[in-house]
Amino acid sequence: MEREVRVRFAPSPTGPLHIGGVRTALYNYLLARKTGGKMILRIEDTDQTRFVPGAEDYIRESLEWSGIELDESPWNGGPYAPYRQSERKPMYMQYALQLIESGHAYYAFDTAEELDEMRERLKAAKVATPQYNAITRATMKNSLTLPEDEVKQRLESGEPYVIRLKVPRKEEVRLKDMIRGWVMVHSSAIDDKVLMKSDGMPTYHLANIVDDHLMKITHVIRGEEWLPSAPLHVLLYRYLGWEDTMPEFAHLPLLLKPDGNGKLSKRDGDKLGFPVFPLRWQDPNTGEVSSGYRESGYLPEAFTNFLAFLGWNPGTQQELFSMDELIEEFSVERIGKSGTRFDIQKARWFNEQYLRAKPDSELANYLLKALKEHNITTSHEKAEKIAGLMKERVSFPQDFWQEAKYFFIAPTEYSERVASKKWNSQSVAVFEDFKNELATLEDFNADTVKDLLNSILERHNMKLGQVMQALRLAVTGAEAGPDLMHIIEVIGREETASRIETAIDKLSPYAAA
């Protein structure tokens, strides 16, 4: 009988959640939903020295905004609670002691100074990677080198100690990764990792293995940076007697800088002007503020669609996927092995597509919100018309105001470049007639306005292309934009006539030139 698929996302509350972490959570979520399984979130807070206030709430809000739903978590509970490792602290020691009793772990009493001395000795001996391992452990202060009664006395006296995994000296550790195939590492490359720290807290290595086993996790999808630790985790599963139920592993490719050289970092975002966090974050210690995709105007569905394609592809030409479609098409086998270059222009493109797909009535709300902030009132019907005209020209919700403010505020400045080339006495003569005759139109709309302008141009023996850019300048102050006749329809005849009259007055030196 096949086990129910159970995946987990296990972030540490040490700061804001990087978008690479959101991508990891997304892939886990897609697999869970695709297979009818469960999505678990576990907070891995064993390193209390790095805990950052507000980070856990940030993780929760980021996932909610991204549309990633959790079946079990610290916030909505579940059958394997608690879901914070710090609250599970009492259960880990028994497994560390089990490893000691079976001969797969040992007590180590070395001080920080003694560990530093050991590393310096190894460096002096030209050892490339100084490690506490099968060779060096023999020269250190641990339960493998000390007499049994001395070990007992040190433990009873409360002397600080750690528990280390006893890694075999000559053994090949094999792991089948769902993305990379077989991974083989010689045990000589694995050091005797600390499993329990002197403060009684487990390290990540022990805690995550114990928790994944107890929570019946079937698949571990995580970042490539954990691949070097995977053989160690295989040993732990084996030594604890859980190898038969060990989860399948998939190590995701790195998110690379835009130039492809190295892992994407916050510094890259700061330097190149894009966010690397899903939401805005203010560091509680320094007060430093980092931008977020939500606050920058990205829609959550565009953000998750963009993230899904950073390492995975559906094998077709389709790029726009709803969450349900992503779930339907997702498979771990279609995740690439190599790092994925981050392209903020592609993220922007996704956002544009999702904005354009929204109904004008919904887009109007973005504009109405901005108008309210500027103490401007208008009808929802007018806002809807403007949104419909502008949606092909915007990338973010806030662009509706930036691009469409001339619908509400008459221009006071004009492009000298356009005026010097396009504003002349012939066009002014057309504009004089046009502003005067707008009042004669019984049915005022884009079509009748265009017909009127064409008839006036015919009288003046001129063509539309000779005056359009200058007329746009007079009405909007902009050099480009959506169909001008539709703009005039929305602005209205009186306001259009007033703006043309103002432009004729202010740009008169160009007409006289």
Mean of pLDDT values over 377-390? 96
Q: Which range is least confidently modeled, 93-107, 391-405, 412-426? A: 412-426
CA distances from 315 to 28, 42, 256, 397 (A): 19, 32, 22, 31
Q: Is 70 exposed, middle or buried (0-12, 13-18, 19+ CB in 10 A)?
A: buried
Question: Model confidence at 509, in pLDDT bands (50, 70, 90)?
Answer: confident
What integer pLDDT is reported at residue 73 of this predicted model? 98
- Provide the residue ranges of all domains of the chain, joining segments of one domain with +: 6-73+206-256, 89-196, 266-356, 358-400, 410-512
- Give me the sign of the Cα torsion angle 132, 134, 137, 142: positive
- The CATH code that applies to domain 266-356 is 1.10.1160.10
Q: What is the mean pLDDT of residues 469-495?
A: 95
Q: Are 132 and 191 spatial neighbours (Cβ–Cβ below 8 Å)?
A: yes
Average pLDDT over residues 361-377: 96
Distance CA 177, CA 249 (A): 5
Q: Is the pLDDT of residue 356 over 90?
A: yes
pLDDT for 411 equals 94
Find all residues with CB under 8 Å of 15, minimum gap 6, and list them. Answer: 52, 55, 281, 283
Q: Name the one residue in this structure whose structure tokens are 């401007």.
A: 376
Among candidate residues 34, 216, 263, 266, the one labeled active-site is 266
Residues in the annotated binding site for ATP: 266
Give the pLDDT score at 512. 74
pLDDT value of residue 50: 85
Using alpha carbons, list the distances in angstroms from residue 91 to 204, 206, 308, 438: 14, 11, 36, 82
Model pLDDT for residues 55-70, shown as the tens digit of each residue: 999 999 999 999 999 9
Query: Which residues belong to the annotated binding site?
Result: 266
**Residues whose CB is less than 8 angstroms from the CB of residue 327 and which lie 6 or more positions away in sequence, other chains included:** 30, 33, 34
pLDDT category at 183 given cuts 50, 70, 90 is: very high
Q: Does the structure show a pLDDT above 90 at 46?
A: no
- Strands of 125-238 (E only): list them: 162-165, 172-177, 181-186, 194-196, 219-223
DSSP H/E element including 148 = helix 148-156
Give the DSSP letter string of 171-203. Answer: -EEEEEETTTEEEEEEGGGS---EEE-TTSPBP
- Its CATH architecture, for the domain 89-196, is Alpha-Beta Complex (3.90)
Tell me the mean pLDDT in the region 125-129: 90
Cα gap 245→235, rounded to integer Å? 13
> Looking at the domain 410-512, which fold is it?
Arc Repressor Mutant, subunit A (1.10.10)
For residue 2, what pLDDT band results from cuts at 50, 70 and 90?
confident
In the annotation, is 266 catalytic? yes
User: How many angstroms separate the CA atoms of 164 and 108, rounded?
Assistant: 7
Supply the pLDDT for residue 349.
98
Place of tokens 């433990």: 155
Fold of 6-73+206-256: Rossmann fold (3.40.50)
Mean pLDDT score, 411-436: 92
User: Is 47 a residue whose pLDDT tops 90?
Assistant: no
Distance separating alpha carbons of residues 149 and 155, to the nearest angstrom? 10
At 261-298, the pLDDT tens digits run 999 988 888 888 999 999 999 999 899 999 999 999 99
Number of Cβ within 10 Å of residue 259's Cβ equals: 10
Question: In whole numbers, what is the pLDDT of the chain averaged over residues?
Answer: 95
The residue-averaged pLDDT of 181-202 equals 93
Architecture of domain 358-400: Orthogonal Bundle (1.10)
Distance (Å, whole) CA 316 – CA 340 = 18
1 confidence band (pLDDT: 50, 70, 90)? low
The mean pLDDT value for 139-168 works out to 97
Q: Where are the alpha helices (DSSP H) in 358-507?
A: 360-373, 380-390, 399-404, 416-422, 425-437, 446-459, 468-476, 484-491, 493-506
The predicted model scores a pTM of: 0.92
Q: Give the pLDDT score at 194.
A: 97
The answer to whether residue 513 scores a pLDDT higher than 70 is no
Q: Which two tokens stand for residue 275?
A: 């966010």
Q: Which pairing describes strands 6-9 and 162-165: parallel, antiparallel, or unpaired?
A: unpaired
Rounded to an integer, what distance in angstroms lies between the CA atom of residue 303 and that of residue 276?
Answer: 12
Length of the chain: 513
